[in-house]
Amino acid sequence: MSEPIYLRVAVPVPVRSLFDYLPPPGVDHRALVPGIRVLVPFGSGRRCGVLVEVSNRAAGEGGVLKPALRLLDHEPLLPAGDLDLLRWAADYYQHPVGDVVTAALPARLRQGREPLDDIRSGWRVTGTGKAVDPTTLSRAPRQATLLALLQGEAGGLTLEELRERGGDSRSALRALQQKGWVERCLVEPRPRPLPERSPAPTLGREQKQALDAIGGRLGRFAAILLEGVTGSGKTEVYLGAVEQVLERGRQVLVLVPEIGLTPQLVGRFQRRLRAPVVLLHSGLSDGERERAWQQARRGTARVVIGTRSAVFVPLPELGLVIVDEEHDLSLKQQEGFRYSARDVAVMRARRCGCPVVLGSATPSLESLRNALDGRYLHRRLTRRAGGAAQPRMDLLDIRSVRLDAGVSPALLRLVGETLDAGDQVLLFLNRRGYAPILTCFDCGWVARCRRCDAHMTLHWKSRRLWCHHCGSQRPLERTCPDCGGAGLHPLGQGTERLEEMLRGRFPDAGLVRVDRDSTQRRGSMERLLEEIRAGRHRLLVGTQMLAKGHHFPDVTLVGILDVDQGLFGADFRAGERMAQMVTQVAGRAGRAAKPGRVVIQTRHPDHPLMQDLVRQGYDAFARAALAERRAACLPPYSHQVLLRAESVRPEQPVGFLEQAVEMARRHAGPEVGFWGPVPAPMERRAGRYRAHLLLQADRRQPLQQLLAAWIPELAATRLARRVRWSIDVDPQEMF
């Protein structure tokens, strides 16, 4: 008789272990390949899990194991190396392995459904439609565009392809369908027509050195920090490296913080490379995402550009990983499975033996320390490409200055002069809405969120009060709810209020506001960016959405209205974030032939951090900040883990955490320090009371050892089932 065989299966349930099953009856054991999906009985129902290991010993003891019901795939969806990476990540970040592994699959596959085949639904012209001259549709330009596109492609186009080519209007399609000129059809996949190639510029000396450093390390692990000032041509270095990797027949993974913010990057990759590039981000439909994922897995896609979760996409021939804007907070997932896509990317490159490039104008202090200590190779681009100068930065002291919607008369004068000269101006304020506070001048009432310890933000256009912490909303009161008086007034300003003031003063500047409220509709961000580049708007007002990655050649003045909260934030990273933000926003100025100027309003012009940043740049700031962190034993000179807890009952979170500390002390060596439990800075949020416990050690290892012993024990306690709690390894935010 042959050995018994056990299947170890990752099942999407919040339990920190794999589950053992027997093989489905009658299944050929050669079909039991890790990485395939299996349908298993679970509780009273069934779940779709992923086979992770085949073993001849059961992990748990006793009990009668049930057989799995059915294998769902013939070939592994997750190859062995990728499965290992997922298991490592589940361990390192202390997140249930079943959740981590199954979340790496596209939604439909996770639900146990059949993979999509490659025939896609789309649209094509009818016989009558073929004969229609699109120019006769001049009163309906969208229909004309669509008709022309479809006439050019007899086999039809999918909605996705229509969108890429600039004709993604369902209403126009329906109108054409009613006329009988287009119809639905199935579209065969075909190689994409590659767009016209744009030639590469001749690289500058520093760019060449950076490229050589990467090119010389293909085929083995190396981490390279590419620290290049904004506009220094980092993307050109990436492209050069990608070309070399593609020539060697390998795939490339490019991680970017937010795809919506980097359409230009994607366009540049597609125009430059003679290879299929696919995108992976949350804006795709489930079907689109699954197709892109499958193309990556099968190797038909050679370059994958994606947001953080793309770090787990299967790539059988991975040869290079690039993390653009490696400092960006959105590379860290802040809920559920809390992982850093940057750190996982480095681990992935190490495991598969290929280089990883971390690029930024404002590197995180973590990466900078690794570079300065020699663990990462450090290449710098110190000058802007193509001869553009670095912008000049000035602090504008606004103590005892009368501001109008947050703007000083001196800055307003500069705005006027710049607009008169025909250039573009960008004003940056990282707060949306009209005003952060609504108060009654008669009795002192302030609009507060009923579910959080926070003020409601006034949104004037929609006449609503909004809590930016929990999302609750209510209509704006006309009179004070406390005294009934008419003395309600907004205090402080957000982008809406700034917009209102500036429209009044500069009515002809074509002002545009770019923030989350003004770009909610799909595609609206791209449209706004297009209009800005075309010169339709000369006055740009925005939040950090405007700060990242964009290239606006005609912006010569950047005004930063409110940086002071970054200087005194409760979080020890507040200064780093402020400096990154200021440098990134400033980097939008004067990127082309015209020199740029940056004006930063502050009430603390003598603050040493501000002085370092403005006089000597991010580089000097970051080195000074690292010295401070070292002296204070803060990350990156130590490692942290944050245990958060929340509950509707005020006493429970701290109670749970106290029990947790006690338990942890029994497992912890002397190297691990504990801070707390303490209530979170904003104790009540969305109706729950929150508290946390911070753990810190000089090395990762004692923390990891502690977690491995402590968390399973903690999870089994009674209180652990009453409060909501989570563990955050290498936390980026302290609340």
The residue ranges that bind Zn ion (CB under 5 A) are 440, 442-443, 445, 449, 451-452, 467, 469-470, 480, 482-483, 485
**Omega of the bond prior to 636 within 30 degrees of 0, cis?**
yes
Nearer to Zn ion, 120 or 459 (CB): 459
Tell me how far apart the alpha carbons of residues 65 and 18 are, in angstroms, rounded to a whole number: 13
Shortest separation between residue 236's beta carbon and ligand ADP, angstroms: 4
Q: Which residue is nearest to ligand ADP (CB)?
A: 233
235 binds, among ligand ADP, Zn ion, none (CB under 5 to 8 A by kind): ligand ADP
Is 480 annotated to bind a ligand? Reply is yes
HSE of 512, CA atoms in CB hemisphere, 13 A: 23
**In this structure, are residues 516 and 484 in contact, taking their beta carbons and an 8 Å threshold?**
no
**In this structure, are residues 677 and 658 in contact, taking their beta carbons and an 8 Å threshold?**
yes
Q: DSSP string spanning 364-410? A: -HHHHHHHHTTSSEEEEE-S-GGGPPPPEEEEEE-TT---BTTB-HH
Nearer to ligand ADP, 199 or 670 (CB): 199
**In this structure, are residues 237 and 203 in contact, taking their beta carbons and an 8 Å threshold?**
yes
Q: Between 341-352 and 80-92, two packed helices, what is the crossing angle to 10 degrees?
A: 140
480 binds, among ligand ADP, Zn ion, none (CB under 5 to 8 A by kind): Zn ion
Shortest separation between residue 206's beta carbon and ligand ADP, angstroms: 9
351 binds, among ligand ADP, Zn ion, none (CB under 5 to 8 A by kind): none
Shortest separation between residue 238's beta carbon and ligand ADP, angstroms: 8
Longest CA pairwise span in the chain (Å): 90
Shortest separation between residue 356's beta carbon and ligand ADP, angstroms: 17
Q: DSSP string spanning 140-174? A: SHHHHHHHHHHHT-TT-EEHHHHHHTT---HHHHH
Q: Do you know the residue count of the chain?
A: 735
Q: Residue written as tokens 């009818």?
A: 126
Nearer to ligand ADP, 233 or 436 (CB): 233
Instruction: Collect all residues with Cβ–Cβ distance below 8 Å to 456 and sequence separation of at least 6.
Output: 438, 447, 448, 449, 465, 466, 467, 474
Residue 209 in tokens:
């050195």
Is 185 annotated to bind a ligand? Reply is no
Nearer to Zn ion, 218 or 686 (CB): 686
Q: What CA–CA distances, in Å, run from 562 to 270, 404, 578?
A: 37, 13, 10
Nearer to ligand ADP, 239 or 727 (CB): 239
Shortest separation between residue 467's beta carbon and Zn ion, angstroms: 3
470 binds, among Zn ion, ligand ADP, none (CB under 5 to 8 A by kind): Zn ion
Q: What angle do CA 232, 237, 239 make, to 5 degrees?
A: 125
440 binds, among Zn ion, ligand ADP, none (CB under 5 to 8 A by kind): Zn ion
Nearer to ligand ADP, 203 or 415 (CB): 203
Please give the backbone phi and psi of residue 613, each rounded to the nearest 5 degrees, phi first: -65, -45
228 binds, among ligand ADP, Zn ion, none (CB under 5 to 8 A by kind): ligand ADP
Shortest separation between residue 204's beta carbon and ligand ADP, angstroms: 5
Shortest separation between residue 615's beta carbon and ligand ADP, angstroms: 22
Nearer to Zn ion, 482 or 530 (CB): 482
Q: Is 615 exposed, middle or buried (0-12, 13-18, 19+ CB in 10 A)?
A: exposed
**In this structure, are residues 431 and 495 in contact, taking their beta carbons and an 8 Å threshold?**
yes
Shortest separation between residue 597's beta carbon and ligand ADP, angstroms: 19
Shortest separation between residue 387's beta carbon and ligand ADP, angstroms: 8
Nearer to ligand ADP, 228 or 617 (CB): 228
**In this structure, are residues 158 and 220 in contact, taking their beta carbons and an 8 Å threshold?**
no
445 binds, among Zn ion, ligand ADP, none (CB under 5 to 8 A by kind): Zn ion
Nearer to ligand ADP, 228 or 391 (CB): 228
Nearer to ligand ADP, 389 or 396 (CB): 389
Is 467 annotated to bind a ligand? Reply is yes
Shortest separation between residue 657's beta carbon and Zn ion, angstroms: 23
7 binds, among ligand ADP, Zn ion, none (CB under 5 to 8 A by kind): none
Please give the backbone phi and psi of residue 136, each rounded to the nearest 5 degrees, phi first: -70, -10
Shortest separation between residue 207's beta carbon and ligand ADP, angstroms: 6
DSSP designation for 721? G
Nearer to ligand ADP, 189 or 267 (CB): 267
**In this structure, are residues 495 and 546 in contact, taking their beta carbons and an 8 Å threshold?**
no
452 binds, among ligand ADP, Zn ion, none (CB under 5 to 8 A by kind): Zn ion
Residues that bind ligand ADP (CB under 6 A): 201-204, 207, 228, 230-236, 385-386, 551
Nearer to ligand ADP, 538 or 550 (CB): 550
Residue 587 in tokens:
């980097």
Nearer to ligand ADP, 85 or 357 (CB): 357
Q: Is 551 exposed, middle or buried (0-12, 13-18, 19+ CB in 10 A)?
A: middle
Shortest separation between residue 538's beta carbon and ligand ADP, angstroms: 21
222 binds, among Zn ion, ligand ADP, none (CB under 5 to 8 A by kind): none
Shortest separation between residue 482's beta carbon and Zn ion, angstroms: 5
- Short-list 447, 454, 504, CA closest to 474: 447
442 binds, among ligand ADP, Zn ion, none (CB under 5 to 8 A by kind): Zn ion
Is 354 annotated to bind a ligand? Reply is no
HSE of 315, CA atoms in CB hemisphere, 13 A: 29
Is 440 annotated to bind a ligand? Reply is yes
283 binds, among ligand ADP, Zn ion, none (CB under 5 to 8 A by kind): none
Q: Residue written as tokens 């007002």?
A: 541
Question: Helix or strand or coil: residue 633?
Answer: coil
Shortest separation between residue 682's beta carbon and Zn ion, angstroms: 9
Residue 541 in tokens:
């007002």
Q: Which amino acid is at 186?
A: L
How would you list the strands of the sheet with 277-280, edge to edge? 277-280, 303-306, 251-255, 318-324, 355-360, 222-228, 377-381
Pairing outcome for strands 70-71 and 45-55: unpaired
Q: Which amino acid is at 95?
A: H
469 binds, among Zn ion, ligand ADP, none (CB under 5 to 8 A by kind): Zn ion
Q: Going along 44-173, which residue ranges are E strands?
A: 45-55, 70-71, 120-125, 157-158
Nearer to ligand ADP, 207 or 519 (CB): 207
486 binds, among ligand ADP, Zn ion, none (CB under 5 to 8 A by kind): none
Is 483 annotated to bind a ligand? Reply is yes
Tell me how far apart the alpha carbons of residues 475 and 460 are, in angstroms, rounded to a whole number: 10
Known binding positions for Zn(2+) = 440, 443, 449, 452, 467, 470, 480, 483
Known binding positions = 440, 443, 449, 452, 467, 470, 480, 483
